Amino acid sequence: MNRPVWVPTRVLFALPCAALLAWPAATQDLRYDAQVAWFHAGNISMELDEDGNRYELSGVVTTSGTMNRLFKWRGLFAATGRFIDGFPTTNAYLLLEDDGETREVLLAFGDKTTIHATDSDSEEIPVPPGSDLMSVMFLAPHCLGETIVHDGEDAYRIVPERTSARDLNQRSRYYSGPTVRCDYRFRYVDGSTRRVSVWVADGKAVRFPVRIQVRVPFFPDGILRLRVDPAPG
């Protein structure tokens, strides 16, 4: 009985994305390794297609290693939009989540977000303001000014705190060298905050963030590192 949840959502998302199929787009593949404390936690594999100022960013987030012993989670996302003055502006955002027991599908398009879940009725809410978080974190030119982003359901405010030049030393599969570190505070709708740091390669040697670190009170930090070597198949 779970399968009908997926079919109408694919059809819905195909409408705003149908025009993308004819793009003579330039494609880039990205892979980030995720770490929590000392443990490999999973990875994010992404594909970015661009044609002029239009973009489509899609990806798969999976847990692995030690994290899989605690829980398994898989997410797929896709965002389409345009770069306006270099900043990604979302047109449509899709998120599919599966933890092995429940599935949730979220589609933000136009002025509505539609949410389907296996254990509840479908719901429609207004699309929150701002661009989607994935587009902003991975495609926007850091360091950012104060910015509003959303996850399809809720809006968050990104508040810049400081910018500093740092030499980053990492394993050979990741970028090492001069970077600019951008420290932010994320303010959530419930009043809580999270500290997030983004490292970008100085001199535009690498276009995308080379490291992202999320600090959550009372929990180990979560870290994403961009692979700069060919990842094993």
Task: Convert the pLDDT of each residue in 11-46 to its tens digit.
Answer: 344 434 443 444 445 788 999 998 887 777 788 999
Q: Is 184 part of any domain?
A: yes
**Inside any domain, residue 196:** yes
End-to-end CA distance of the chain: 34
Contacts of 89 (CB under 8 A, 6+ apart): 81, 82, 83, 131
pLDDT of residue 17: 45
| Total domain count, the chain | 1
pLDDT tens digit string along 48-99?
Answer: 999 999 999 999 988 776 555 555 557 899 999 999 999 999 999 999 887 6
What is the model's pTM? Answer: 0.81
**Could you tell me the two tokens for 111?**
């002025």
Between CA 192 and CA 202, with CA 197 as vertex, the angle to 5 degrees is 155
pLDDT at 117: 79
Domain presence at residue 134: yes
Residue 21 lies in a domain: no
Q: Is residue 74 part of a domain?
A: yes
* 20 part of a folded domain: no
Q: Is residue 212 part of a domain?
A: yes
Domain limits at 179?
A: 3-14+26-226
In a domain, 232, yes or no: no
Chain segment 148-180, per-residue pLDDT in tens = 999 888 999 999 999 999 999 988 899 999 999
